[in-house]
Amino acid sequence: MAASNLPLFRLDPTAPGSARGYITAAPAMTSAVDQSVFPDLTHPHVAGLAMGTLAILPRVAFTSATPTAAMTPMGLIERVTIHHSGFPQAWTLDDQGPTAEHLEFIRRFHTDAPPAGRGWADIGYHFAVDRAGRVWQGRSLLYQGAHVRNHNQNNVGIVVLGNFDLQSPTPDQVHGLTDLVTYLRCIYMMGQMEIWTHRELADEPTSCPGETLMAQVRVFRGF
Ligand SMILES: [Zn+2]
């Protein structure tokens, strides 16, 4: 197949170097086009962004765990959905260490067996944005997330840490989220209409991503 005919997101977890979308390097900031984060580096559109400035912390920065079960392949990426973590108390810590522990807490909540946890194979979100504006890799983009029931197909899940019915996102957090969404839109050629929030897609009522983050999303996507 000619390179120009490659799909935007090639789903081949067995491809050399893909390592099922997970990396084993020491935790460090990595380019957004690191193969572990965006597996299809061969696509010319992705390759053309190799000098991008968005940095993403790989998942090994918060966990050594790998998925506990097989997951469903993502398919072509067509939309993004924004969430808040939404715990009953506001999340106010900025430092990387406690943030990593918090993300591991979320991953364990998602993977622990019910009723204590959700019983999913991995953390449900593909990316997280913390209070300092850092972007963290969660579940590999090779696989569907677990973030909007019945609507996870072709859908990138981003969680912004905090409860935005109780607090506001920090300016750095808004910048981090905007940069990530812009980058995803560029790589996967998505328009503003492909940027969703949980409440807009959910079959059941939810306040997610909270009022103050919803307002920010409306600003940066333009509706
Ligand atoms: Zn949500």
pLDDT of residue 75: 87
Cα–ligand 1 centroid distance for 211 (angstroms): 12
pLDDT of residue 56: 85
Residue 160 lies in a domain: yes
Residue 158 lies in a domain: yes
Cα–ligand 1 centroid distance for 46 (angstroms): 28
Residue 183 lies in a domain: yes
Helix (H, G, I), strand (E, B) or coil at 127: strand
Residue 18 lies in a domain: no
By residue range, what is the domain housing residue 157? 3-11+23-221
Cα–ligand 1 centroid distance for 140 (angstroms): 18
Inform me whether the pLDDT recorded for 38 exceeds 70. no
pLDDT of residue 18: 30
Count up the domains in the chain and report the number: 1
Q: Each residue of 140-177: pLDDT tens digit?
A: 999 999 999 999 999 999 999 999 999 999 999 999 99
What percentage of the chain reaches a pLDDT higher than 70?
76
Angle between helices 171-188 and 211-221 (to 10 degrees): 50
CATH at residue 110 = 3.40.80.10
The contacts of residue 159 (CB under 8 Å, 6+ apart) are: 83, 84, 85, 106, 125, 127, 128, 129, 138, 147
Q: How confident is the model at residue 58 (pLDDT cuts 50, 70, 90)?
A: confident
Average pLDDT estimate for 173-200:
90
